[in-house]
Structure 1
Amino acid sequence: MAITDFSKEYHERMFPGIASKLLETDPEFVERFDNFAFDEVVNQDDLEDRTRMMVIIATLIGCQGIDEFKVMVPAALNFGVTPVEVKEIVYQAVAYLGMGRVIPFLHSTNDVLTARGIKLPLEGQVSTTTENRLEKGVQAQVDIFGDGMKEFYKSGPQESRHINHWLADNCFGDYYTRSGLDYGQREMITFCFLFAQGGCESQLTSHAAANMKIGNDKQFLIKIISQCLPFIGYPRSLNALSCLNNAAAQMGK
């Protein structure tokens, strides 16, 4: 067996003129991984390359794959993911992984963009104000999850109700309302953040349903899981598929 022509061509599109050092130190491994990830998996479905790269970098943040993230962000840019889109993926990750886990990815993104001659900061994408972020956040929740979210920010025990309020004004009001990505893309990357980090089955099932409600259907989400499998492995991929199937069954899909 040797690295396939398709895999070689795909690798060259991702990393023009760059050969992996692992070809010298771990040739058998690279042969099998590249043929799987960049030929067999890529050719499994018709997901466009740009979307594939967006979900891969979101998944790498979710699984804390910082070294591979540094490698794949330039590939994402080469496939047409914009600097704004990369930044928005990183920013939104804070709501789902926390600043403690995301800050290395933000610094790495800045390093990659600066090295490519892209001036920072990028054009602002904020669309809310301090005064209307709650209102706009609630509306985003309603748009994605349905009318049942209108009063959700007021719900729950008194001692913890503030967290539901924060979900509305911070998670949705500060992040989902930003331009640069639409709701479908934001729910798509949230799905990736959740399945890549593991241990978030309840939220993953909920966001699988939200994805399907706004147009990211079950087959599309299976494509997302499939394309990210080489980067997160089988256990979390199979877990994501189980949560997706549960959400689809609850929705009668």
Structure 2
Amino acid sequence: MTMNKISKLMLFIMIVIATVTVHAQTGADQNLSTKQQAIVRIAALTGRGSLEQLKEELNAGLEAGLTVNQIKEVIVHVYAYAGFPRSIRGLQTFMTVLDERKSKGVNDVMGNEASPIEDDSSKYDRGKAILDTLLDSPQRGPQTGYSSFAPVIEIFLKEHLFADIFERDVLTYKERELVTVSVLAAIGGVEPMLQSHLKICLNVGLTADQLQQYVGIIKTSIGKKEANSAKSVLNGVLKNK
């Protein structure tokens, strides 16, 4: 074989390898990771209050590589959307799971704590900046709707939800939004909020295929009715994006 033919063959092989690699990476990117899938299940079941099923998924989440602190953060985040009772019962269930695993000689990884907040600006301003990032659009102008009707809740949202909670770096924005849409789908009856947060999911880098997969997880872990509702909202978001 001449040098020219060898060079052409080598070039062809390199192109094939590159193409296969790109396709493999693209395919992987279209799926939620095992950890992300565990987050969806844990958040949805905590919000729903299905504690026996939650125990199974807490074990699965730890086995998938989520740290103890990441799971605690998921369950704490749930309270912003489903209330303290659901969140506290979820934490109590997690304590039981960890005790059972420890009794079997399993030492789970604690993981990082939330980093100290070094920004000395007001919580309201920090929360507003985070919300602007999530929405991919700065909020300007006078308050309208519920924010105008009850201004104090708008302050609570900025200072507490988006500063105190979203600012904690134990979970990424992607992970926090997966928690949020999972809880909203599980509790039902809050489709306008689900719609808003599904839009944010796209803004922070989750793909349409990943969100379709999230709907599938809601179907298997929570139920067909809740999944159909979430799918209807998601289809509307994707249609109008």
TM-score grouping bracket, smaller chain normalisation: 0.7 to 0.9
Pairs aligned (count): 206
Shift of 1:228: 2.8
What is the match of residue 186 of structure 2?
A: 196
Larger Rg: 2
Give SS of 2:66's match.
Answer: coil
Contact 2:35 2:64 in 1 (8 A): yes
Q: Identity of counterpart residues, as a percentage? A: 24
Contact 2:35 2:61 in 1 (8 A): yes
Alignment of 1:1-253 (within 5 A): 46-117=31-102, 124-125=113-114, 127-128=116-117, 132-149=122-139, 160-251=150-241
Give SS of 2:150's match.
Answer: helix
Distance 1:209 1:123, change over 3 A: closer
Contact 1:63 1:196 in 2 (8 A): yes
Higher relative contact order (CA 8 A, sep 6+): 2
- Cα distance in structure 2, aligned partners of 1:121 and 1:85: 8
- Cα distance in structure 1, aligned partners of 2:225 and 2:216: 12
Q: Structure 1: which 5+ residue stretches go unaligned?
A: 1-44
- Cα distance in structure 2, aligned partners of 1:146 and 1:170: 20
Contact 1:70 1:108 in 2 (8 A): yes
TM-score by length of 2: 0.76
Distance 1:245 1:180, change over 3 A: same
TM-score by length of 1: 0.73
Shift of 1:159: 5.5
- Cα distance in structure 2, aligned partners of 1:192 and 1:57: 9
RMSD: 2.6
- For residues 47-72 of structure 1, the C-alpha deviation after alignment (integer angstroms, 9 at most, x for no partner) is 43222212111111122211111122
Distance 1:149 1:114, change over 3 A: farther
Distance 1:165 1:126, change over 3 A: farther
Q: Structure 2: which 5+ residue stretches go unaligned?
A: 1-29
- For residues 132-173 of structure 1, the C-alpha deviation after alignment (integer angstroms, 9 at most, x for no partner) is 332221111011013343668x65566610101111111111
- For residues 19-73 of structure 1, the C-alpha deviation after alignment (integer angstroms, 9 at most, x for no partner) is xxxxxxxxxxxxxxxxxxxxxxxxxx84432222121111111222111111220
